[in-house]
């Protein structure tokens, strides 16, 4: 059966409409991911501010002297510091097929608990340097995420390399806790900035690809939440490593 010009034109038109719907859905999906991430950062920041500035709350997690200076971490504070890591491990290994409700509940609980640990930054660094570094991180994040979204080059090959880099970074940080080497700390900070800058681009591209695989299905909400979580973690790590270079201590 021959296919005439009119049939080919109708097919191309249908394909164009389908692609337009996919692009529109993808933009809405990415906006949803970024909204989750931004709201998570806001919640973490609010919790961190309350813990750092309300003495009654501060004393739950940190020991304070008569002058109001923090000099140690309480048992509850230690639990709060390690809770985000435990939550990630449990979510990764114990929950194979999370529901949309579970994913959202887990995310909001994670960012709230993580804010307790972030309160230390408010106690150590000046408010001006924190704001300056935050806006620099936000600008860097915007550029890196835009690259990951628009590039035609597959970044999946870098993912395993960067994850191995994170593991090496953690080992180096533990070792330097005992060595207390300023030079090693400088190297760790520089490598940390590079690794998490790369992960932001890699994660953004992966989130974009997951949309095409899950669009219109219940899994779409789950991937949006966990995509926001991956960007949230990468953003905060980039922020903290940049803070080691740009932050001014109290």
Predicted confidence (pLDDT) per residue in 205-220, tens digit: 999 988 877 665 556 8
77 CA to centre of own chain: 22
* Helix, strand or coil, per DSSP, at residue 62: strand
Looking at per-residue pLDDT, the higher value among 214 and 30 belongs to 30
* In the predicted structure, residue 172 carries a pLDDT above the cut 90: yes
* In the predicted structure, residue 109 carries a pLDDT above the cut 60: yes
Q: What pLDDT is stored for residue 149 in this prediction?
A: 94
Q: What pLDDT is stored for residue 33 in this prediction?
A: 95
What is the average per-residue pLDDT within 36-52? 97
Q: Mean pLDDT lowest for which of 64-68, 129-133, 235-239?
A: 64-68
Please name the residues in contact with 41: beta carbons below 8 A apart, sequence gap of 6 or more. Answer: 111, 232, 235, 236
Q: What pLDDT is stored for residue 30 in this prediction?
A: 93
Joined together, the tokens standing for residue 117 give 């640990």
What is the average per-residue pLDDT within 30-42? 96
Q: What pLDDT is stored for residue 57 in this prediction?
A: 94
Q: What pLDDT is stored for residue 92 in this prediction?
A: 82
Q: What pLDDT is stored for residue 218 in this prediction?
A: 55
* Helix, strand or coil, per DSSP, at residue 70: strand
Joined together, the tokens standing for residue 81 give 């510091």
Q: Please state, in angstroms and as integers, the Cα–Cα distance from residue 206 to each residue in 12, 155, 164, 239, following that order.
A: 28, 8, 18, 21
- Look-up of token digits 């109001």: 68
Give this prediction's pTM.
0.89
What is the average per-residue pLDDT within 152-167? 90
Indicate the DSSP class of residue 215. Answer: T
CA atoms within 13 A on the CB side of 25: 18
Instruction: List 62's β-bridge partners, or say none.
Output: 73
Average pLDDT, the chain: 88
- Look-up of token digits 């992960």: 199
Q: What pLDDT is stored for residue 14 in this prediction?
A: 42
Q: What pLDDT is stored for residue 10 in this prediction?
A: 45
pLDDT, tens digit (0-9, with 9 covering 90-100), for 55-99:
999 999 999 887 778 888 999 999 999 999 999 988 887 777 888
- Give the pLDDT band (50/70/90) at residue 13: very low
């Amino acid at each position: 059966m021959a296919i005439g010009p009119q049939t080919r034109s109708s097919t191309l038109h249908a394909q164009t409409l389908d692609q337009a719907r996919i692009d529109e859905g993808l933009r809405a999906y990415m906006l949803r991911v970024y909204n989750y991430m931004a709201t998570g950062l806001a919640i973490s920041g609010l919790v961190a501010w309350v813990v750092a500035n309300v003495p009654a709350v501060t004393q739950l997690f940190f020991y304070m002297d008569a002058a109001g200076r923090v000099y140690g971490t309480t048992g509850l504070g230690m639990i709060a510091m390690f809770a985000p890591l435990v939550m990630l491990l449990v979510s990764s290994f114990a929950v194979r097929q999370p529901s949309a409700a579970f994913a959202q509940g887990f995310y909001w609980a994670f960012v709230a608990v993580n804010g307790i640990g972030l309160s230390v930054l408010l106690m150590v660094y000046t408010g001006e340097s924190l704001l300056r570094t935050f806006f620099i991180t936000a600008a860097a994040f915007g550029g890196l995420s835009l690259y990951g979204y628009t590039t035609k080059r597959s970044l999946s090959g870098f993912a395993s390399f960067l994850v191995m880099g994170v593991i090496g970074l953690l080992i180096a940080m533990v070792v330097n806790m005992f060595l207390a080497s300023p030079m090693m700390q400088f190297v760790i900070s520089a490598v940390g900035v590079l690794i998490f800058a790369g992960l932001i681009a890699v994660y953004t591209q992966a989130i974009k690809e997951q949309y095409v695989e899950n669009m219109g299905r219940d899994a779409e909400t789950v991937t949006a939440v966990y995509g926001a979580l991956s960007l949230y973690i990468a953003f905060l790590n980039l922020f903290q490593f940049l803070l080691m270079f740009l932050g001014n201590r109290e």
